[in-house]
Every structure is written in structure tokens, then in C-alpha cells.
Amino acid sequence: MKGFSEKDYPKKDLTEKIINAAFTVHNRLGAGFAEKIYENALVKELESKGLKAEQQKRLQVIYGGNPVGDFIVDLLVEESVVVELKAVRVLDKSFEDQLLNYLKTSGLEVGLLLNFGTSVQIKRKVVSKK
């Protein structure tokens, strides 16, 4: 994986809009809700900014150029950024691994792991397209 500086992340403008929307949602709702509540609120917030956000989007796992199964991402924003949501106290490394696997197998390049625990935590993941 290629390292990116903060200023040259792919989809930087879009991911910043998503992150800002997540902070708006958390500021309005606070901590303690189930993940689905944050998901629904984030979709409303993104749509209010004119962004397309698909919930529970089914994507294919591609292996050797062939589809071998499906997985479901929490959100797909503008058909290009995978957003996985959590509402936990501490993010486990396995959540990051899951997001990376989603990106690698779907052919998408950029993902965000957003945790609505006690405050918003953000992990941005990028997988270079070959």
C-alpha cells in the first residue's frame, strides 16, 4: 500500500464532507445510540449536503477476476467511498482489517471507519488501484 500525505489522499474532499457530517450527527445525538441510529442520521445529513449515500450496499468479492461471493457495507457514498460505522468504546483492529478487505476485494480505493462511541473516531483507509 502506498503512503499518502494528508493533503493528497484520494477522494479527500468527499471524505472530509463525510467526516464533517459524522461530527454533526454526533454533536446532535451524542453518545450511546445503536449503530443503526447513527447510520440513518448520517445518511440524512449526507443527503442534506447533496451527496448520494446507499445503505447496506451489497458488493461482490472478486477473486482472480471472478465473483466468489458478496458482502454488505454500511454505506457507499457517491459510489466511491465505503463507510463502515461502529458505536463502540474502543475500535478493534479487526474493524480496520475488515474495511481493508472490503476495499481490496471490491476494487474501490477509499474507505472510512467511523466510530460513534464517546466521541467520533476516524480511520481513513486507502488501497491503491493497480
Q: Residue 99 in contact with residue 88, Cβ under 8 Å?
A: no
- Condensed to tens digits (0 to 9), the pLDDT of residues 93-124 reads 999 999 999 998 888 999 999 999 999 999 99
pTM: 0.89
- Condensed to tens digits (0 to 9), the pLDDT of residues 14-24 reads 999 999 999 99
Residue 1 has pLDDT above 50, yes or no: no
CA–CA separation, 9 and 32 (whole Å): 31
C-alpha cell of residue 22: 459524522
Domain 10-126, classified CATH 3.40.30.160, yes or no:
no
Burial class (CB in 10 A: 0-12, 13-18, 19+), 12: middle
Structural domain boundaries of the chain?
Answer: 10-126
